[in-house]
Amino acid sequence: MKLTVLGAGRCVTGSKYLLEWKQFAAMVDCGLFQGPAENRRRNWRRLPFPPRQVGAVVLTHAHIDHSGWLPRLVRQGFRGPVYCTPPTRDLLRVLLPDAAHIQEEEARYANKEGYSKHSPALPLFRAADARAALKLLEPVAFDEWRRLHPGIRFRFHRQGHILGAAAVELETKVSGGDRKTVYFSGDVGRYGVPILREPSPYPGSDVLFLESTYGDRFHGADDPAVALAEAVSAGLARGGVILIPAFAVDRTQELLFLLNELITDGDLPEIPIFLDSPMGIEATALYSRALSEHDAEMRQYLADQVNPIVPPSLQFAPTSADSRKLNELDGPAIIISASGMATGGRILHHLKLRLPDPRNSVIFVGYQAEGTKGRRLVEGEPEVKIHGEWVPVNAHVSQVSGLSAHADAGELVLWLARRDREPEAVYLIHGEYQAQQALAARLADELGWRPEIPELGATIAI
């Protein structure tokens, strides 16, 4: 078996791995590259293998940087099964059509405004491709072995990163009749955060592919709820509107949980909260219904007839007309909208309107990848380009740390600690190179491992 790193090699996005045997090929994850234009251009590259000959795709979770290239793969001829957990399937029914809508809207806007380098600008994929991809989804329960091909099987392990997130344990025959276990961590979740159950520990394997998003840092011991309360209170004091760019899946639900808790405890007033994200609204409903995924605290809330991710002051803005009405808000109010890195979605319209006014505030509550508008705003750039126009940044911009769905360096080591056996080979993926180098040094020092850091396009023999 050989494995080619088609994404998330020395970078965070585009998670995509091609696995090849003599008579079979499959993929683990099928994600979009996100961030700067040079990253996104990689989404247009063809696979180094005919898509029609890919036998199956196994998805770790629904985030677009792990699943969003699937409609493109289908557009190029892939027709095999796409295995995922049941909650991942439910989320993809929301995320993939939304991703297609964004692709089509961006192409339409680029053609209208004339700022595309290509004429006409084309979407990477269309709504029909997303619908075709959804028909291929085959849910597989956690911990249930599923045959991928004769001599090859896999199972999912709960990862707690977002609803339905999993690690993939793949067992395969290799030359000589031996069997090897290859473990893909997917994105490792946090410990002690609200709503979802904690990650299942790494059991050990022959080969480990380990994410390293926060391999060079710690989220800190400070309570993110306290930091959020301080940032929101400061925004209220300015008298304007508070914008919170947030990933529609998981981050929005955790944010609503914390805001509800702060309002209930009297740490914040009952300020109007608007969720301006159709995907975030649907994801919140899915999170509310996913009883088997809830931690003990969430289950107790619901048993007491309280939904802690729907604060009493929360209002939904599902339609474009509802979103445009928010332009008339004069504050104080909170608008939560996607995308979390300000790379697209309705948050761009709000930023374009609100950034010039110093009374307004922008609070980032998640990781901001290199090259994104979110990263540039957090780093203090005086103006940003939105929809082809330069917008001055006079609003107050801050970032609340600790609100992350990714394990930090210490939590990654904790996740690895209960293994039954040592891996023969460890590869660090899904991280910026500096973070990967730091994590490699930590694993060498604490565990005696010698991880490798494959580049994009690298092929690994297993």
Whether the CB-CB separation of 193 and 298 falls below 8 Å is answered with no
How far is residue 331's CA from residue 389's CA, in Å, rounded to a whole number? 25
Write out the H or E segment, with its range, that includes residue 311: none
Q: In the numeric block, which tokens belong to residue 422?
A: 């040592």
In order of their start, the domains of the chain are 2-217+405-461 (3.60.15.10), 224-399 (3.40.50.10890)
Rounded to an integer, what distance in angstroms lies between the CA atom of residue 62 and that of residue 176? 36
pLDDT of residue 230: 97
Residue with tokens 């050989």: 2
Average pLDDT for runs of 10 along the chain of length 462: 97 96 97 86 93 98 97 98 98 94 85 69 95 98 98 98 98 87 98 95 98 93 92 96 96 97 96 96 97 96 96 96 96 94 92 98 88 94 94 97 90 97 98 97 98 98 94
The radius of gyration of the chain from alpha carbons, rounded to an integer in Å, stands at 22
pLDDT value of residue 49? 92
Instruction: State the Cα torsion 303-308-312-316 to the nearest 10°.
Output: -120
280: which 2 tokens?
A: 């975030």
Query: Cis peptide leading into 332, omega within 30 of 0?
Result: yes
Three-class SS of residue 398? strand
What type of residue is 150?
Answer: P
Give all strands (DSSP E) within 165-282, no chain letters: 166-173, 179-184, 207-211, 241-245, 273-275
**Measured distance CA(333)–CA(239) in Å, rounded:** 9
Q: Are 329 and 241 in contact (CB under 8 A)?
A: yes
Q: What is the pLDDT, as a whole number, of residue 100? A: 94
> How confident is the model at residue 104, as a pLDDT?
92
The distance of Cα 94 from the centroid of its chain, to the nearest Å, equals: 14
The residue among 239, 257, 343, 252 whose CA lies nearest residue 12 is: 343
CA pair distance 337, 160, nearest whole angstrom: 23
CA–CA distances in Å: residue 214 to residues 170, 319, 405: 25, 35, 10
Q: What is the pTM of this model?
A: 0.92
User: SS3 of 208, please?
Assistant: strand
Query: How far apart, in whole angstroms, are the C-alpha atoms of residue 359 and residue 370?
Result: 27
Residue 201 phi/psi, 5° resolution? Answer: -65, 155
- Residue whose C-alpha is closest to residue 227's, from 358, 404, 407: 404
Predicted pLDDT of residue 115: 61
Q: Give pLDDT, residue 221.
A: 80
Q: What is the pLDDT of residue 105?
A: 84
Q: Note the pLDDT of residue 176.
A: 75
CA distance 72 to 40: 13
3-state helix, strand, coil in the chain (%, to 5): 35, 20, 45
Spatial contact of 397 and 377, defined as CB atoms under 8 Å apart: yes
Please give the pLDDT value at position 108. 85
